[in-house]
């Protein structure tokens, strides 16, 4: 984890947001493949585990064959791990705790005060 400047904005807002510094670790391709395979093993494993259950075996096959690879693709798309830390909310300006192990980019979490969905993106990628 290295402190990294990033932009905190409100999701779907055109306002530029705030630049904050939070701990961040970029995932290597190997780490991303590892995460994807782990997710595939977990989701497809659940699907295979319910295969012997009567009336559930079709669902199990679908989970194992379809949901597992989809979950793996989503796991592979995560390129960085962000947090934990504290910023002020770009919408309501209240102090806001950033949960640990957010997956980016964008890393998203909700402000507990104003319910705004906060987007964290790398500062250099912003226009
Ligand atoms: Zn807020």
Q: Could you tell me which residues are beta bridge partners of residue 6?
A: 20, 122
For position 17, what pLDDT does the model report?
Answer: 87
- Tell me what the mean pLDDT of segment 20-40 comes to: 96
Query: At residue 5, does pLDDT exceed 90?
Result: yes
Q: Within a 10 A sphere around the Cβ of 70, how many other Cβ atoms? A: 12
**Rounded mean pLDDT, 26-38:** 96
HEC per residue, the chain: CEEEEEEEEECCCCCCCEEEEEEEEECCHHHHHHHHHHHHHHHHHHHHHCCCCCCCHHHHHHHHHHHHHHHHHHHHHCCEEECCEEEECCCCCCEEEECCCEEECCEEEECCCCCCEEEEEEHHHCC
Residue 126 has pLDDT above 50, yes or no: no
pLDDT, mean of residues 79-97: 94
Q: How far is the CA of 8 from the centre of ligand 1 (A)?
A: 11
**Statement: residue 33 has pLDDT above 80:** yes
Mean pLDDT over residues 93-120, rounded? 94
7 CA to centre of ligand 1 in angstroms: 15
What is the Å distance from ligand 1's center to 105 Cα?
20
Q: What's the pLDDT score for residue 76?
A: 96
Distance 123 CA to ligand 1 centre (A): 20
Mean pLDDT, range 38-63, rounded to an integer? 92
Task: Enumerate the domain spans of the chain.
Answer: 2-27+79-125, 29-77
pLDDT category at 127 given cuts 50, 70, 90 is very low
Proportion of the chain above pLDDT 70, given as a percent: 98
What is the pLDDT confidence band of residue 16, given thresholds at 50, 70 and 90? confident
In the sheet with 80-82, reading across from the earlier edge strand, the strands are: 102-104, 80-82, 18-26, 2-10, 117-122, 107-110
**Å from CA of 86 to ligand 1 middle:** 12
């Amino acid at each position: 984890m290295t402190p990294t400047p990033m932009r905190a904005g409100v999701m779907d807002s055109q306002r530029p947001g705030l630049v904050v510094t939070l701990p961040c670790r970029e995932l290597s391709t190997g780490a991303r493949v590892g995460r994807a395979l782990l997710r595939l093993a977990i989701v497809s494993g659940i699907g295979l585990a319910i295969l012997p259950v009567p009336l559930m075996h079709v669902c199990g096959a679908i989970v194992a064959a379809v949901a597992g690879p989809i979950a793996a693709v989503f796991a592979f798309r995560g390129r960085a791990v962000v947090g934990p830390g504290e910023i002020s909310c770009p919408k309501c300006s209240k102090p806001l705790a950033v949960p640990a192990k957010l997956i980016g980019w964008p890393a998203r979490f909700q402000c507990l005060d104003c319910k705004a969905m906060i987007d964290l993106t790398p500062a250099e990628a912003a226009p």
